[in-house]
Amino acid sequence: MPELFIEGRWASAVDGQTREIHCPADGTLVATVDEAGPKDAAAAIEAARAAFDSGPWPRTPAAERGRLLLRVADLLERDQTALARAESLDTGKRLVESEHDLDDIANCFRYFGNLVAAGGTERVVDTGDPDIDSRVVHEPVGVCTLITPWNYPLLQTAWKVAPALAAGNTFVLKPSELTPHTAIGLMRLLAEAGLPDGAANLVLGAGPVVGVPLTVDERVDMVSFTGGLATGRHIMAAAAPTVKKIALELGGKNPNIVFTDAAFDAAVDHALTAVFLHSGQVCSAGARLLVQAELHDRFVDELVHRAREIRLGGPFDEHARTGPLISAAHRAKVEAYVAAGLDEGAVLRCGGRRPDDPALQNGYYYLPTVLDDCTPGMSVVRDESFGPVLTVEQFRDEEEAVLLANDTVYGLAGGVWTTDEGRARRVASRLRAGTVWINDFHPYVPQAEWGGMKQSGVGRELGPAGLAEYQEPKHIWRNTAPTPQRWFA
C-alpha cells in the first residue's frame, strides 16, 4: 500500500523512489516505504492550500473540531499496541517506552480537543464607546508545514498535529525519514475519525529534498519544526523570504545541578534517567551534571556504579533498560564527541565504547558513559552529543552553579536538587531555560508549555500557548452607529 497521503488519498511517490527502514536495534529491514520528492511536496502543499481556502475544516465549529480530536485520542488508544510496536521497530526504543509515549500522545489529543471545545478565546474590548463593538477573535494561521525528528516520532508529531487541527489549520507533515511508520498510522486514524480530505497530508523523505520545498513555498503560511539547531537555522532562513510564521523546538544541553544537601539516593537515581533515558536521545536530557565540590566524589562514584549496571537491549528484551542509538552515523558522532572530550582532558569513568555482548553487534549500541573533570570549554560539554554521555563539572557555591548552568547557547531545560527551598526557588528563577525541574527530572504535562529560550527555539508547544502558536489573533471593530467624521471636510 502506498504511504504518501495527499488530498485524502494514499499515493506512491511520483518519481517512484523508495527507502528502506531498518531497525537500529539489530539492522533488520522493517519495511520499504515511498520516498517523496519535490513534486509530491508541491502536490501536498496544493491540497492543504485548497483545503484551507475552500474546504470545510477551517470553518468547522471549534466544538466539533474538539470532538474530532477526542475521537482520534480514542482511536490511538484502540491501536496502541500496533503503534507502539511500529514506533519501537523504527527507533529501536523499548516497547514499554513506546507504550508510555502512546499514552502521552492520546492525552495530548484529548487536551487540545477539550481546550478548543471549551472556547473562550474571543475577547471583547471595552472602548468606552457604546456604539463600538470591538472584539478579538482567533483564527487559524493557514497551511502549516510540520517537520519532526526521529527520537520521539509520534509524540513530537502529536504536539504539532493536535493544536494545528484544533485551531482549524490544514497541514503537510514530514516526519524524519528514519522513522515514518507511526506518522502513516496517524494519517489513517485522522481519516477514520472523519477529518475532511486535504486537511492532513503526509510526505515522507529526506530533509534537503522534500523538507526544503515545504519551508520555502509561498503557499505555506507557517513552519513548525522540531529537530537540531543547525537545521533550525536553515529553516529560519528558508522561511524568511516569504516571512512565514515559524515555531522551532531545537536542541538542548541541559544542566542538572546537585547541591550537597540534595536527597542523595533520589538525586543519583534521577541523574541516571536524566541522561541515559532512550540512550540520551532526548532533547531535554540532563547531559551536564553540575555537582557541588564537597559531594562530588561520593555522588559520582555511586552514579558510575549504577551506570555500569544499565543493561542494553532491543525493543522486546524485557531485561533491557535502554536501547540503541538511531543509526551508525549518529553513533559515530557520539564516539567523536567522547574522543574529543578525552583529548581535551576529561576523565573516563565508565563506558566510552560499544558493548562487547555478541547479541548487540548488529545494533548501534553505545555504553552509558560518564566523563569526569570536564570544563566548560570542551566540545562534549558545549555541543549536544545526543547520546548516552554525561559530563561532570564541579561548582563551589550557588553563584557558580548558576553561571555554569547558563553558560550554553541552549536554554531548553534544567534541574536543581536541593532541600533548601529558598535556594531551589532562586536557582529556578535564574536558569535561562523553558522548563526547570526542582528535585525531579523529565516530567512534563500537556497543560504546561514546553519550549526553549536562547538557541533552543522560538515559541512554545503544549499548554494554551501551544494552541496560540497555530492561531492568528484578529481584531474586528464594528461601528454600530456610523456618522460622518468630517476629517476632510
List 66, 149, 341, 415, residue binding ligand NAD (CB under 6 A): 149
If the CB atoms of residues 42 and 212 are measured against ligand NAD, the closer one turns out to be: 212
If the CB atoms of residues 176 and 182 are measured against ligand NAD, the closer one turns out to be: 176
Site string for ligand NAD, 398-427 (x = CB under 6 A): --------------x---------------
Catalytic residue chosen out of the listed positions 46, 87, 177, 249: 249
Q: What is the largest CA-CA distance in the chain?
A: 91
- Say how far apart CA 345 and CA 299 lie, in whole Å: 21
- Say how far apart CA 32 and CA 22 lie, in whole Å: 9
Compute how many other C-beta atoms are within 10 angstroms of the C-beta atom of residue 343: 11
If the CB atoms of residues 24 and 457 are measured against ligand NAD, the closer one turns out to be: 457
Residue 96 neighbours by CB under 8 Å, 6+ apart: none
Q: With both helix axes pointing from N to C terminus, report the angle between 153-166 and 80-91 in degrees, rounded to the nearest 10.
A: 130
Chain residues 441-460 in contact with ligand NAD, contact rule CB under 6 A: 452, 457
- Say how far apart CA 295 and CA 221 lie, in whole Å: 52
Chain residues 243-282 in contact with ligand NAD, contact rule CB under 6 A: 249-252
- Say how far apart CA 33 and CA 8 lie, in whole Å: 18
Pair 303, 275: CB distance under 8 Å = no
Chain residues 40-69 in contact with ligand NAD, contact rule CB under 6 A: none
Cell of 401: 552553579
Chain residues 172-201 in contact with ligand NAD, contact rule CB under 6 A: 174, 176-177
If the CB atoms of residues 134 and 242 are measured against ligand NAD, the closer one turns out to be: 242
Catalytic residue list contains 249? yes
List 226, 292, 385, 408, residue binding ligand NAD (CB under 6 A): 226
- Say how far apart CA 483 and CA 47 lie, in whole Å: 45
List 384, 393, 398, 449, residue binding ligand NAD (CB under 6 A): 384
CB of 289 to ligand NAD, least distance (A): 18
Compute how many other C-beta atoms are within 10 angstroms of the C-beta atom of residue 480: 9
Please tell me whether residue 313 binds ligand NAD under the rule CB under 6 A.
Answer: no
Q: With both helix axes pointing from N to C terminus, report the angle between 95-118 and 153-166 in degrees, rounded to the nearest 10.
A: 10
Residues touching ligand NAD, count (CB under 6 A):
32
DSSP letter at 311? P
If the CB atoms of residues 225 and 395 are measured against ligand NAD, the closer one turns out to be: 225
List 150, 364, 417, 470, residue binding ligand NAD (CB under 6 A): 150
Please tell me whether residue 234 binds ligand NAD under the rule CB under 6 A.
Answer: yes
Q: In 273-408, which ranges are E strands? A: 288-292, 347-350, 369-372, 389-395
Please tell me whether residue 153 binds ligand NAD under the rule CB under 6 A.
Answer: no
Pair 15, 39: CB distance under 8 Å = yes
If the CB atoms of residues 174 and 181 are measured against ligand NAD, the closer one turns out to be: 174
Catalytic residue chosen out of the listed positions 23, 108, 144, 283: 283
List 98, 156, 292, 385, residue binding ligand NAD (CB under 6 A): 156
DSSP code per residue over 376-432: TTSHHHHS---SSEEEEEEESSHHHHHHHHH-SS--SEEEEE-S-HHHHHHHHHH--
Which part of the chain contacts ligand NAD (CB under 6 A), choosing from 113-121, 132-140, 146-154, 370-378? 146-154
- What residues does 248 pair with on adjacent strands? 225, 458
List 215, 224, 322, 391, residue binding ligand NAD (CB under 6 A): 215
Residue 106 neighbours by CB under 8 Å, 6+ apart: 73, 74, 76, 77, 80
Catalytic residue list contains 20? no
List 73, 147, 320, 370, residue binding ligand NAD (CB under 6 A): 147
List 8, 27, 228, 459, residue binding ligand NAD (CB under 6 A): 228
- Say how far apart CA 347 and CA 349 lie, in whole Å: 6
List 259, 276, 366, 386, residue binding ligand NAD (CB under 6 A): 386
Please tell me whether residue 224 binds ligand NAD under the rule CB under 6 A.
Answer: no
Please tell me whether residue 162 binds ligand NAD under the rule CB under 6 A.
Answer: no
If the CB atoms of residues 35 and 197 are measured against ligand NAD, the closer one turns out to be: 35
137 φ, ψ (degrees, to nearest 5): -115, 160
Please tell me whether residue 151 binds ligand NAD under the rule CB under 6 A.
Answer: yes
Helices and strands, number each (H, E), in the chain: 15, 20
Which part of the chain contacts ligand NAD (CB under 6 A), choosing from 101-109, 129-137, 205-213, 253-261? 205-213
If the CB atoms of residues 15 and 261 are measured against ligand NAD, the closer one turns out to be: 15
- Say how far apart CA 375 and CA 394 lie, in whole Å: 9
- Say how far apart CA 91 and CA 51 lie, in whole Å: 32
Is residue 348 exposed (0-12), middle (13-18) or buried (19+ Cβ within 10 Å)?
A: middle
Chain residues binding ligand NAD by CB under 6 A are 147-152, 156, 174, 176-177, 206-208, 211-212, 215, 226-228, 231, 234-235, 249-252, 283, 384, 386, 412, 452, 457
Supply the residues annotated as catalytic: 249, 283
